[in-house]
Amino acid sequence: MEDRVIIGDKIEFEKDMESVFTLSFIPLDIFDNWTRASSLSDFIAEYFGSYFGNESSHNLISTVINEFIENAVKFTKNNSQPIVVIVKKRDNDLICRITNSIPKHRKTAFIEICKELFSEDLDQLFLDKIIEGSNNKTESGIGLILVKKDYHVKTNFDFFKDNNDMNNVNVTFKLNLQ
């Protein structure tokens, strides 16, 4: 398996932005009290929602960011290593990058999930995952499908190793709020 794997849409993350916001948290806090993921998502939505001047922005931002935060927490390797969230506002877009560690043994499975998002019919993939999930008591496996299928969120997955030879993933996504 290559150390660096990039899958998904091309998103200009480094380009100039009008507003930027960074926070980090440890996954352990979310596992300790799952409503904290929701609190974080609502806070980011509250912070950026007013830029977009319509009532639905808060719900949209919170819904999408919550899915990515929950996903990052569930896939993280080290519950004490911070997950970093950077959110930028540019024109009518909210661009977000979430960085978390990922266990080596789950990296391959996660890469396959990401590839499916860009190669399969998403309606069919949703139905397949629901049926498949009827035998799985925990993971739903539909969060990333829903944000792409129902919210048309552009998404990019960048798997890389850091200086400590630990596997990480940058999940970058762009939500249009026009």
Partner 1 sequence: MEIKQDKYIIAYEKKDRLVKMSGTLRLQDKDEYREIFELLTKAANETTGLPLTLDMKELVFLNSSGISSLSLFIIKMRQLDKDITIKGSETIPWQVKSLSNFQKLYGKVQIIFS
Q: Which of residues 138-177 bind partner 1 (CB under 8 A)?
A: 138-143, 146, 150-151
For residues 87 and 48, the answer to whether their CB atoms sit within 8 Å is: yes
Pick from 19, 59, 92, 108 the residue near partner 1 by CB under 8 A: 59
Query: Please, what is the end-to-end C-alpha distance for the chain in angstroms?
Result: 40
How large is the angle between the packed helices 104-117 and 122-133, nearest 10 degrees? 140
Q: How far is the CB of 20 from partner 1 (least distance, A)?
A: 24
Site for partner 1 in 60-119 (CB under 8 A): 60, 62-63, 66-67, 70
The three-class DSSP label of residue 52 is helix
Least distance CB 60 / partner 1 (angstroms): 5
- Give the count of residues interacting with partner 1 (CB under 8 A): 32
Binding letters toward partner 1, positions 115-134, x by CB under 8 A: --------x--xx-xxx-xx
Distance CA 23, CA 56 (A): 24
x-or-dash pattern for partner 1, window 24-53, by CB under 8 A? Answer: ----------xx-xx---------------
Beta-strand runs (E) in 62-130: 83-90, 93-101
For the chain, helix, strand, coil in percent to 5 are 45, 25, 30
Q: Of the candidates 137, 163, 164, 165, which one interacts with partner 1 according to CB under 8 A?
A: 137
Per-residue exposure over 79-92, b if at least 16 CB sit within 10 Å of its own CB, e if not: eebebbbbbbbbee
Min dist CB 114 to partner 1, Å, is: 16
Q: 149, 26, 157: which is closest to 81 by C-alpha?
A: 26
Binding residues for partner 1, rule: CB under 8 A, are: 34-35, 37-38, 55-56, 59-60, 62-63, 66-67, 70, 123, 126-127, 129-131, 133-134, 136-143, 146, 150-151
